[in-house]
Amino acid sequence: MHLPAELRMRLGEIFSADSFAVGETERIAYSHDNSRRHALPDAVVFPTDHAQVEALVQACRAHQIQVIARGRGTNTIGATVPIEGGVVVSFERMNRIIRIDPDSRLAVVEPGVLNGELQQALFSHGLFWPPDPSSSAQCSIGGNLACNSAGPRTVKYGSPRENTLGLRAVAGNGEGFRCGTYTSKSSTGYDLTRLLIGSEGTLALITEATLKLTPKPSAMRTLRATYANVDAAARAVVRIMAQPVTPCALEFIDDVALKLAHAYGGDSVPLAGALLMIEVDGEADTLDSAVEAVCAAARGAGMQKLRVAQSAEETRALWSARKALSPAQRTISPNKINEDVVVPVGHLAALVNGIKQLSAQHDVLMVSFGHAGNGNLHVNLLPRDEDERERAHACLADLFALVLSLDGTLSGEHGIGLLKREFMPLALEASTLQLMRNIKTAFDPDGILNPGKLLP
């Protein structure tokens, strides 16, 4: 699809010459995300304010041209790939922190602000925004909101949905609107804020966010526990989450992942049946008792060794297994398939054991690690050649069926995008999907916002 001359002229009126690109080089640069899927857009625009976004959507709607919102393209699900062409809207120039209000513990930001940049700006106020994806140095707040991207701290502090007070956005009909409040409590109509978060740009384009901030704890302690097998580690997770002290991170690594990380990182990475990385935060004068409560829960049948870091250097050493994992996987399979699935914490052992069975059944190397305190595991399939790639894709359907049989869900923080949408009918009833389509139509009557994503 190519831009009609009239629309091209209108976009030239809305955007300055350096904010409206139709050259092949620019279009290629915005044709893909971290999913390794590619599709050329017809144009790329770089808005700098809300009014431009309204005018853009109105102009594209008039010509039935697709509009695809984009943060920094770090998502792994194809959510920002323009599969039907159209106009990619890169929010990288809407990157202002509009205001920080420490007294009310909120910040108002534009969508292009990087997560890491916001955290730095909040540091001097003794505050932070809890969502902390592993890509925080590169990913934008708008992208975090679009996919409800979270990270390890979610186990204690919640995801973007629990940490966003309100939004300003532009719907698919070209009308701007505000939703939410500046208060932490509200019972005023439908919660459109939480509806937009995780909608992957299919309902509206977010142009401003009011974020709920949290006081930064004064102290943190890191623990590492190894176990004889995944069942023992999973039982420890259940015990840890059942006692009153909630860790701010509770990460799981299975035995296959540990072997890969050990081969890459050396003896600093322990070999075991499973490993838990645990972080506990709070005030310095109460932290020791909190750590002891978590340690007591971590101890039990099958535990091999428990270490508590006493310094920043030791903390870095304890995290060595997790740090070595990603580069270790890349040495095995540059085309790894990275899925994030969630089950109730009580079903974590069944999930990990089921993954081992699927790995043997399909003859594909699979590793499991991730945010055990939420039951949210990253399951990476590591095919090494074309035959293994075919088997890996066949394995995905069985993986999702296993997750759903354990009362789980298809994604905890990556989203659905292009890569998981065919599996949505397995996870949701037809009547539920129809209600979602009706909501999509209400926000985007002509279906121009990020078509082909999320809904099957």
Classify domain 5-90 at the CATH topology level.
3.30.43
Q: Tell me the CATH number of domain 217-324, given options 3.30.450.20, 2.40.110.10, 3.40.50.150, 3.30.70.2190.
A: 3.30.70.2190
| Rounded Cα distance, 308 and 311, in Å | 9
Q: Answer yes or no: same fold for 97-215 and 217-324.
A: no
Pick left, alpha or beta for residue 157 (phi over 0 → left; psi -120 to 50 → alpha; otherwise beta).
Answer: alpha
- Please say whether the beta carbons of 189 and 233 come within 8 A: no
Q: Which residue has the tokens 């909101």?
A: 145
How many C-beta atoms surround the C-beta of residue 160 within 10 A? 27
- Please say whether the beta carbons of 147 and 200 come within 8 A: yes
pLDDT given for residue 362 in this prediction: 95
Q: pLDDT in tens for each of the 456 residues of the chain?
A: 589 999 999 999 999 999 999 999 999 999 999 888 999 999 999 999 999 999 999 999 999 999 999 999 999 899 999 999 999 999 999 999 999 999 999 999 999 999 999 999 999 999 999 999 988 899 999 999 999 999 899 999 999 999 999 999 999 999 999 999 999 999 999 999 999 999 999 999 999 999 999 999 999 999 999 999 999 999 999 999 999 999 999 999 999 999 998 888 888 889 999 999 999 999 999 999 999 999 999 999 999 999 999 888 888 888 888 778 877 887 888 778 889 999 999 999 999 999 999 999 999 999 999 999 999 999 999 998 888 889 998 999 999 999 999 999 999 999 999 999 999 999 999 999 999 999 999 999 999 999 999 999
| Rounded Cα distance, 159 and 389, in Å | 32
Collect all residues with Cβ–Cβ distance below 8 Å to 179 and sequence separation of at least 6: 166, 167, 169, 192, 193, 196
**Looking at the DSSP assignment, which residues form a beta bridge with residue 277?**
224, 251
CA angle (54 as vertex; 189, 140 as ends), nearest 5: 80
| Rounded Cα distance, 435 and 138, in Å | 34
pLDDT given for residue 1 in this prediction: 56
| Rounded Cα distance, 86 and 63, in Å | 11
Q: Where are the domains of the chain?
A: 5-90, 97-215, 217-324
Top-tier CATH class for 97-215? alpha beta
- Please say whether the beta carbons of 90 and 110 come within 8 A: no
